[in-house]
Structure 1
Amino acid sequence: MSVGSENLPQFALVGGKGTGKSSLLESLVGKDFLPRGATRAPLVLNLRKSDCQEQGIFLHRPGEKIHDFSRIREEIANRTVILAGLVRLSLDCQPDNFVEQTKSTIMEYISKEETIILAVTAEGLVMSQALEQAMMVDPEGARTIGVITKLDRAQDIAMAELDNKVVPLKWGHVGVVLRSEAVKCWKY
């Protein structure tokens, strides 16, 4: 029996600008491979370990296996410049429907039943765009995990949500503080 990569479980981080998605992703992967500053390019990167060797394969470069994580960082930085990033307003160099294309791409990935959605926010999930998008495709919250980043800045708001009663999700909510300090994690 052959299993295609499209059927394997995958994580999709969804959240607004400046919510800490990049820091969270690096913490999950255990590698420092994302450029510092804004990473505003919607990219698909498959990270795999094959024959005891880690590799990254970008969707826009099928078949090209990159083993050096500094090269992965460089490719992401280059694509960010080319694509001009994930923003709510289109820039002059972007197509008129750039925002719609970006939302469509996000929905395409989080709609897949095998995708675990990490709805990432820095302020709390109740009013977050990330949770709104996740609930469109996962209304029961069965495959969504709420992630509240920058917990050190929003403790009062976040603590009320971490008990999983405000916005109930099957896997609950996690609060994290990333990059600026050692990673701390609160789960209730």
Structure 2
Amino acid sequence: MADIGTLFVISAPSGAGKTTLIKKVLNRFETLSYSVSHTTREPRQNELNGRDYFFISIEEFEQKISLNHWFEWAKVHDNYYGTSKEFIKNSLEKGQSLVLDIDVQGAKQVMALDLDLVSIFILPPSFKTLSQRLENRGTDSKEVIAKRLENAKSEIAQKDLYQYKVVNDDLDKAAKELYSIFKKEMA
């Protein structure tokens, strides 16, 4: 029987650079995969269904809630996000380590399952920098940015639930730090 893979749970406030950091680390490990979540939000420019997210309707998402399909799920910024229970189980049993890029609500659900996992929280260097990053990416309205910043305060306040914290002040430095965590935990 193959070794069971390692489950990595990574959370961050929107705009902290989590997705960019995860992409940098994924390329460095042969047995590490990205767990593609499902969402009811609209795709952003350059996002592809099945690569970045599985984009589904609110009705389909809610039906899957009633069928206990989700490993974890949450409603964030007025949209649902969730991870397929079957996908997680199948990947880990094949010895594949997985990165779950999930919000704090979902991470708390996964942590409550008392699984052997590694949890990492990505922090922005400052709240001001986070605000500038959200504005500079040009994908959200001022109202959405305000909501994301308000949620960020609550998310950052829960950073101590995580085993590791990485401050994304310098992208290369943060990527090296994240890589070293993965290397240590997958050894």
> Same fold judged by TM-score > 0.5?
no
Structure with bigger gyration radius: 1
TM-score, structure 2 normalization: 0.39
If each structure's helix is expressed as a fraction of its own residues, which one has the higher value? 2
Structure scoring higher RCO (CA < 8 A, sep ≥ 6) equals: 2
